[in-house]
Amino acid sequence: MSDLKSEITKRRTFAIISHPDAGKTTITEKFLLYGGAIQLAGTVKGKKNTRHAVSDWMEIEKQRGISVTSSVLQFEYAGHCINILDTPGHQDFSEDTYRTLMAADSAIMVIDASKGVEAQTRKLFKVCSMRGIPIFTFINKMDLESRDPYDLLDELEKELGIDTYAVNWPIGCGKEFKGVYDRQKNHIMAFEAASVSGVKEAKSTIYPIDDPALESLIGERLWDTLQDDIELLSGAGEDFDLDRVREGTLSPVFFGSALTNFGVEPFLQYFLEMTPPPTARTSHGEIVDPFDEHFSAFVFKIQANMNKAHRDRIAFMRICSGKFEKGMDVYHVQAGKKIQLAQPQQMMAQDRAIIDEAYAGDIIGVFDPGIFSIGDTVCTPGFDCKFSGIPTFAPEVFCRIRQKDTMKRKQFIKGMEQIAQEGAIQIFQEPHTGMEEVIVGVVGTLQLDVLEYRLKNEYRVDIVMESLPYQYLRWIENEEVQPDELKITSDSKVVQDYRGRYLLLFTSMWNMNWAMDKNPDLRLAEFGRAEE
């Protein structure tokens, strides 16, 4: 196999999605441990102060002790080169979290077994399912009291609309958790709580299903339940179908306990077997083969002010085909210019390192002197390629913003436009008004703090923010609709985005449904179509 082919074939690029506290960080950390990328549990965690080793670029981050943007972790495991895209949750949930999913080839969805599907999981799932990427489910915290596993699967199917296939099945939960039955390998991995130098670790021992010791190990009641479960699953459940997994319509489900490191490594091994190597992306409606020797990539995230002293930006790119080499000339399609990608970096587990080469599937961050926009394509000069852009995701928090000092109008407009161009915020205007007042929409409230901070520090503009009661934003899809003539409740509002597209703002779902009812032809979209 050629170098290019073998390098690309061994890559797996995915995101881990979950509601905060389901265990995403804990699982990521176990993955890194298996790969030898970190030596000690607790290195990735430490939400308070220690995480700055990974991204220590912004004052606000230091003040709050949280990571503002997601990072990418790369490590090797079992012959694979793994890229994990970290999707921030908690207060730092933002549009970047959604955009990061555009760079992933698959997703791992971590669910807390006592809670099931939660709000943030639902939102992130929606974006993954829009892209049709494979979604793997890890039902975590089985060492604690959990909900009935059938209920959990039922909820995944009904709430998210995806079929499920349980690859393993839990035996009890909480204090009675005895392990999992692996349906493919037909064996039981028994769970035994233990503590290794103060760190919670479980002992996991494999028993073939016909091992006579099992019944007494598990106990008669749970043994009987397991027999019934095995029968029921093989009779009533979905069949395993790798094609459906790859299309994103069937989610393989695994039960385990990340904290005790139980079931995580077998999960990783199954996952690596089932998830595809870098998948093809489309350009001008045609497939770009990841193995094509021409380099191509698209920008999915722009991070400002990584280095306070230089006020620079880093553009994160997903490589879609070929190989990237440091210092190579590339063509920036949107600007119509040849450029060099400066200071290409990759995020390793703890450090940011300058890299010499990278392959399809990898994510690189390059120095951006202010030329890139979200969705831009770069490629080998002469390679006819332009990836379909990245959609805009509906913000959920809105406020009206104006500058305190009217003399600073120019700086205010410049700052707002630049920050919006980076994709850190979205700006909207009421039709027929100027830029004196702007409606800003964000996915997470932290973005508003970032906006205020940056306007003050980079553009010397103080602003006044007035929060608005809207919760839902929808793009009007049908162009023939006359926005002025729409029947909407008095507390709903028509606005325009920077491309002049019309949108509706609603304070409640009820109001949105009312508008749909009264305007039967109106078609609303939750995603703003990508720029072509």
- Please say which residue, 18 or 67, places its beta carbon nearer to ligand G4P: 18
- Please say which residue, 121 or 380, places its beta carbon nearer to ligand G4P: 121
Residues 494-523 interacting with ligand G4P (rule: CB under 6 A): none
**Amino acid, res. 6:** S
Among 53, 60, 66, 144, binds ligand G4P (CB under 6 A): 144
Query: Is residue 25 within the footprint of ligand G4P (CB under 6 A)?
Result: yes
Q: 86: annotated binding-site residue?
A: yes
Which region holds residue 428: left if phi is over 0, alpha if psi is between -120 and 50, else beta?
beta
- Please say which residue, 41 or 440, places its beta carbon nearer to ligand G4P: 41
How many C-beta neighbours within 10 Å does residue 528 have? Answer: 19
User: Mask: binding to ligand G4P, 122-141, rule CB under 6 A, as x and -?
Assistant: ------------------xx
Q: 225: annotated binding-site residue?
A: no
Name the minimum Å distance from CB 258 to ligand G4P: 4
- Please say which residue, 24 or 332, places its beta carbon nearer to ligand G4P: 24
Q: 491: annotated binding-site residue?
A: no
Name the minimum Å distance from CB 42 to ligand G4P: 7
The single residue listed with the structure tokens 């394509």 is 377
Q: Indicate the pairing of strand 392-393 with strand 524-525.
A: unpaired
Residue 236 tokens read as 């009533």
Query: Is residue 246 within the footprint of ligand G4P (CB under 6 A)?
Result: no
Among 22, 33, 202, 349, binds ligand G4P (CB under 6 A): 22
Q: 310: annotated binding-site residue?
A: no
Q: CB of 403 within 8 A of CB of 435?
A: no
- Distance, CA of 114 to CA of 97 (rounded, Å): 25
Name the minimum Å distance from CB 251 to ligand G4P: 18
- Please say which residue, 20 or 219, places its beta carbon nearer to ligand G4P: 20
Among 12, 14, 15, 26, binds ligand G4P (CB under 6 A): 26
Alpha carbon 470 to its chain centroid, in Å, reads 25
Among 10, 24, 183, 301, binds ligand G4P (CB under 6 A): 24
Residue 206 forms beta bridges with which residues? Answer: 189
Q: 129: annotated binding-site residue?
A: no
- Distance, CA of 60 to CA of 488 (rounded, Å): 39
- Distance, CA of 442 to CA of 80 (rounded, Å): 37
**For the CA atoms of 170, 176, 179, 182, what is the dihedral angle to 10 degrees?**
-30
> What beta strand segments (E) does 64-134 contain?
72-77, 80-86, 106-112
Segment near ligand G4P (CB under 6 A); pick from 74-82, 150-158, 253-261, 427-435: 253-261
**Amino acid, res. 369:** P
Segment near ligand G4P (CB under 6 A); pick from 22-30, 125-133, 173-181, 490-498: 22-30
Name the minimum Å distance from CB 144 to ligand G4P: 5
Q: 151: annotated binding-site residue?
A: no
- Distance, CA of 388 to CA of 408 (rounded, Å): 37
Among 45, 221, 284, 518, binds ligand G4P (CB under 6 A): 45
Q: 143: annotated binding-site residue?
A: yes
DSSP secondary structure code for residue 34 in this structure: H
Residues 157-186 interacting with ligand G4P (rule: CB under 6 A): none
Name the minimum Å distance from CB 215 to ligand G4P: 26
Q: CB of 128 within 8 A of CB of 248?
A: yes
- Please say which residue, 113 or 364, places its beta carbon nearer to ligand G4P: 113
Q: In this structure, what are the phi and psi dihedrals at residue 355, rounded to the nearest 5 degrees?
A: -115, 155
Residues 257-286 interacting with ligand G4P (rule: CB under 6 A): 257-259
- Distance, CA of 314 to CA of 426 (rounded, Å): 19
Q: Indicate the pairing of strand 329-332 with strand 377-379.
A: antiparallel
Query: Is residue 71 within the footprint of ligand G4P (CB under 6 A)?
Result: no
DSSP secondary structure code for residue 395 in this structure: P
**Amino acid, res. 349:** A
Name the minimum Å distance from CB 41 to ligand G4P: 10
Query: Is residue 87 within the footprint of ligand G4P (CB under 6 A)?
Result: no
Name the minimum Å distance from CB 432 to ligand G4P: 45
**61 CB-side CA count, 13 A:** 23
Residues 343-402 interacting with ligand G4P (rule: CB under 6 A): none
Residues in contact with ligand G4P, counted by CB under 6 A, come to a total of 17
Name the minimum Å distance from CB 161 to ligand G4P: 23
b/e per residue 411-450 (b: at least 16 CB within 10 A): bbbebbebbbbbbbbbbbbeeeeeeeebbbbbbbbbbbbb
- Distance, CA of 125 to CA of 219 (rounded, Å): 38
Binding residues: 18-25, 86-90, 140-143
Binding residues for GTP: 18-25, 86-90, 140-143
Interacting residues toward ligand G4P by CB under 6 A? 18, 20-26, 45, 89, 140-141, 143-144, 257-259
